[in-house]
Homo-oligomer: A and B are copies of this chain.
């Protein structure tokens, strides 16, 4: 940043302290109240740092700046894990405290206990997550003619980044951690264009190719060895409201996709009662709002374009 930033600015008409007071006062919501009571929120950027460290441990040397000396790999990873555990537990505790405050329960001893438990659950799940990711990597390598090596998949494929983040976020979602699962999944969304809600249940050997524009909703259940291309939506068909006209939250509203299904680019599959049977293939741009049996091939009669040919101008 600019060293001279403390130099006075021309501000004949602007009162900085007045503006600051207005900004602090103008939020009418819960958030402001929390801030006034000194409740420190989970900072988004701090969560991103923890995620980067966690993923570095899954694939040492691949995602960071510096190589890890192989001879000390285990010690190095243990030291990193200790630091990650402390930061993660602190952030998760803040998130539980925010929720607790929001619900007026103020049971902060309970928040701490839940944070310890959620942190340990996630760390203990890391070896299993790593094993599942190895199956995802194999699926990408075997499913993409452009993949030169599994290492290329690890170091560059956005689909792997998205599923890796998802498998971590889903673990925290399952432990009912507020805010953080969605911060993680939206971080992956930002980096990859792939939007997987942390609530989605996704089996091993999952491969998303290209991926930009993919949306996978909160209550999706996806089987083993499923392959999805860019622009696929697994979404909700309707948004039922309660007696007060508010959307009902938390009901099953996204599809099920069974094992060994492939869904090509731009397909839209909607509804909580919709199940794509095992081994099916869904073609590009297909729009589907009902179940199909196992082993189906579903294709659009693509619209026949009108072709008119004229003289070409040379240039």
Contact = CB atoms under 8 A, between A and B. Distances in A.
Contacts of A217: 146
B145 A247 contact: yes
A213 B235 contact: no
A195 interface: yes
Contacts of A297: 307-310
Given A5-B87, A67-B40, A305-B283, A260 B298 contact: no
Contacts of A104: none
10 contacts: A1-B83, A14-B123, A23-B127, A26-B130, A29-B134, A145-B247, A145-B251, A146-B197, A152-B182, A195-B212
A90 B63 CA distance: 17
Contacts of A109: none
A108 interface: no
A306 B312 contact: no
A177 B258 CA distance: 39
Contacts of A19: 78, 81, 123-124, 126-127
A230 B1 CA distance: 35
A24 B73 contact: yes
A110 interface: no
A95 to B, nearest CB: 9
A236 B67 CA distance: 36
Contacts of A51: none
The 8 closest A-B pairs by CB, nearest first: A40-B67, A20-B78, A295-B312, A287-B302, A20-B77, A279-B312, A156-B186, A41-B61
Interface string A9-38: 111011011011111101111110001111
Interface string A281-315: 00111111000111111111111011111111101
A233 interface: yes
Contacts of A155: 41-42, 44, 179, 182-183
B298 A306 contact: yes
Contact of A231 (B231, B299, B301): B231
Interface string A176-189: 00110011011001
Contact of A70 (B37, B45, B154, B233): B37
